[in-house]
């Protein structure tokens, strides 16, 4: 493989350029003629389908039903909830005409679906017997607010799940939070091998229109934080704006209580950034379109014999496997190509291996090679794929732990943010003024207040007053 085809920059030297190269050169996604909107190639869409399949199964176990609502939202609906509209107005794309005819009312291309869905909810909900209503939809959204898109991490169009649920009481609505975040945690950790910090967002950082927001926050290799899946308790904000009312058991009319929650393809960008290396993609086996590639090493005189054994091996493996029997490129080229594409496990088999009834297994995550008898290969290969999955999570968890530090003073906070980045645990008084000044002065924001509470170990890191919580701060995407 030539330098043009492979990686031309190191992760540690220029993370931004490395990430852009890796996501395109590996064939995971590609740019299109629309700025900020990607083509998901088979490897990427397979990973998303596996995520969707696993998550959808969990949703259905929880009693959540799938629905679908229109891509286009009338302007009058989008304007119904003031805070929500103000939060999204800079990023809304509008349809203003069809053919040569101008529309009487602009139609927003959905940035999120609250407004179009809740107009229907108001018609469908009449009695407490209609509740809870727990719906989810899998769709795409368009948000056009930024100048420099980053593939997956900051795409203008992305795929996601968006859950919208309605309850009769505040307690029921708030009780849904842990169930949804537990599902998101399972998918991020067990499928994507991504650790994260779960916690509550500050009022300044919450979702537009929500009473309170909760998130899973990740740390990228450049030391910046990025928000992952989230959950929002919307209280009665939307039900009052959209007249979502019901007759309760006491024949009283009440406004409903609502939640929204989402998990997007941004998470796949996080996965790639965290696990991959200077040779290319590193994919968790559970989400790899190809889990094993077989690379036979042959010459013209022994080609048929080696390929015959390789084909038997291919048929014996009960995983997603491909035999690369091309004869127009060298084995070394193939090794580099499949490493770039992130295939978790490679099987090498040459004339000596055939004679000894063995193969060489090469791990993508560590580069470690192991000689294995063909008779034991099926069992060993499956076990090794499981080990790779676990090892990727452990490495990412170790990185997160090593790059989470404490700061007792503002000068210490500034120093860590400037020199080390990562997450910084700092005591905070709860004042939005302190939060805003920290962001303005050093470019770090409160990512969330972790559920796993730390004991208060100092005064407020900015103003020196009594602290109420320990918050996580970081520079972020």
**368-386 confidence digits (pLDDT tens):** 999 999 999 999 999 999 9
Distance of CA 263 to the CA centre of its chain: 7
Q: Which pLDDT belongs to residue 4?
A: 65
Closest CA to 73 of 28, 129, 113: 113
Work out the pLDDT band at 78, boundaries 50, 70, 90.
confident
Q: Where are the domains of the chain?
A: 15-275, 285-399, 404-474
Mean pLDDT, rounded, for 446-463: 96
Least confident of 145-154, 158-167, 285-294: 145-154
Q: pLDDT by residue (tens digit) across 15-25? A: 999 999 999 99
What mean pLDDT comes out for the span 238-259? 97
285-399 folds as Rossmann fold (3.40.50)
Are the beta carbons of 326 and 310 closer than 8 angstroms? Answer: no
The 10s digit of each residue's pLDDT in 256-310 is 999 999 999 999 999 999 999 999 999 999 999 999 999 999 999 999 999 999 9
Q: What angle do CA 139, 143, 144 make, to 5 degrees?
A: 150
| pLDDT computed for residue 147 by the predictor | 72
What is the CATH superfamily name and number for domain 404-474?
A: C-terminal domain of ProRS (3.30.110.30)
Q: What is the 3-state secondary structure (H, E, C) of the chain?
A: CCCCCCCCCCCCCCHHHHHHHHHHHCCCEEECCCCCCEEECHHHHHHHHHHHHHHHHHHHHCCCEECCCCCEEEHHHHCCCHHHHHHHHHHCEEEEEECCEEEEEEEEECCCCHHHHHHHHHHHCCEHHHCCEEEEEEEEEECCCCCCCECCCECCEEEEEEEEEEECCHHHHHHHHHHHHHHHHHHHHHHCCCCCEEEECCCCCCCCCCCEEEEEEEECCCCCEEEEEEEEEEECHHHHHHCCEEECCCCCEEECEEEEEEEECHHHHHHHHHHCECCECCCCHHHCCCCEEEEECCCCCCHHHHHHHHHHHHHHCCCCEEECCCCCCCHHHHHHHHHHHCCCEEEEECHHHHHHCEEEEEECCCCCEEEEEHHHHHHHHHHHHHHHHHHHHHHHHHHHHHCEEEECCHHHHHHHHHHCCCEEEEEECCCHHHHHHHHHHHCCEEEEEECCCCCCCCCCCCCCCCCCEEEEEECEC
Position 455 scores a pLDDT of 95
The stretch 69-86 carries a mean pLDDT of 84
How buried is 112 (Cβ within 10 angstroms: 0-12 exposed, 13-18 middle, 19+ buried)?
Answer: buried
- Inform me whether the pLDDT recorded for 398 exceeds 70: yes
pLDDT over threshold 70, residue 389: yes
Q: What pTM value is reported for the model?
A: 0.95
Confidence of residue 90 (pLDDT cuts 50, 70, 90): confident
pLDDT of residue 79: 85
pLDDT of residue 355: 97
- Tell me: pLDDT of 332 over 60: yes
CATH 3.30.930.10 is the classification of domain 15-275: yes
- The closest of 274, 349, 342 to 308, measured between CA atoms, is 349
Task: Answer whether residue 202 shows pLDDT above 80.
Answer: yes
Quote the pLDDT of residue 80. Answer: 82
Strand partners, 264: 160
């Amino acid at each position: 493989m030539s330098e043009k085809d492979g990686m031309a920059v190191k992760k540690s030297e220029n993370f931004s350029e490395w990430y852009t190269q890796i996501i395109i050169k590996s064939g995971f996604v590609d740019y299109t003629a629309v700025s900020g909107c990607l083509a998901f190639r088979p490897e990427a869409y397979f990973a998303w389908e596996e995520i969707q399949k696993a998550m959808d199964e969990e949703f259905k176990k929880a009693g959540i039903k799938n629905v679908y609502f229109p891509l286009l939202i009338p302007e009058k609906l989008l304007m119904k909830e003031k805070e929500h509209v103000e939060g999204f107005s800079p990023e809304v794309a509008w349809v203003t005409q069809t053919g040569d005819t101008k529309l009487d009312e602009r139609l927003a291309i959905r940035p999120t679906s609250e407004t179009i869905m809740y107009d229907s909810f108001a018609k469908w909900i009449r009695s407490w017997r209609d509740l809870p209503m727990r719906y989810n939809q899998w769709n795409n959204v368009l948000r056009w607010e930024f100048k420099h898109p980053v593939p997956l991490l900051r795409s203008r169009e992305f795929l996601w799940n968006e859950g919208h649920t309605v309850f009769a009481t505040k307690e029921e609505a708030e009780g849904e939070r842990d169930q949804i975040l537990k599902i998101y945690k399972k998918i991020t950790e067990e499928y994507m091998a991504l650790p994260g910090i779960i916690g509550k967002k500050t009022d300044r950082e919450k979702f537009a229109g929500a009473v309170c927001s909760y998130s899973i926050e990740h740390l990228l290799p450049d030391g910046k934080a990025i928000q992952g899946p989230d959950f929002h308790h919307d209280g009665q904000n939307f039900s009052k704006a959209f007249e979502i009312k019901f007759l309760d058991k006491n024949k009283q009319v009440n406004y409903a209580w609502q939640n929204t929650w989402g998990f997007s393809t941004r998470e796949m960008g996080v996965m790639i950034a965290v696990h991959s290396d200077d040779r290319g993609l590193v994919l968790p086996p559970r989400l790899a379109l190809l889990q094993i590639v077989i690379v036979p090493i042959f010459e013209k005189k022994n080609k048929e014999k080696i390929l015959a054994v390789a084909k038997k091996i291919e048929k014996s493996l009960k995983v997603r496997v491909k035999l690369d029997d091309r004869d127009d490129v060298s084995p070394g080229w193939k090794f580099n190509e499949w490493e770039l594409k992130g295939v978790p496990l490679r099987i090498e088999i040459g004339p000596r291996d055939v004679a000894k009834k063995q193969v060489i297994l090469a791990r993508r995550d560590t580069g470690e090679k192991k000689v294995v008898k063909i008779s034991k290969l099926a069992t060993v290969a499956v076990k090794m794929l499981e080990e790779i999955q676990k090892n990727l999570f452990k490495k990412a968890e170790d990185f997160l732990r090593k790059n989470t530090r404490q700061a007792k003073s503002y000068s210490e906070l500034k120093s860590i943010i400037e020199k080390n980045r990562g997450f910084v645990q700092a005591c905070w008084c709860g004042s939005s003024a302190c939060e805003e000044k920290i962001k303005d002065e050093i470019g770090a924001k409160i990512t969330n207040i972790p559920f796993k509470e730390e004991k208060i170990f100092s005064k407020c890191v900015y103003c020196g007053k009594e602290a109420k919580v320990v918050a996580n701060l970081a520079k972020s995407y």
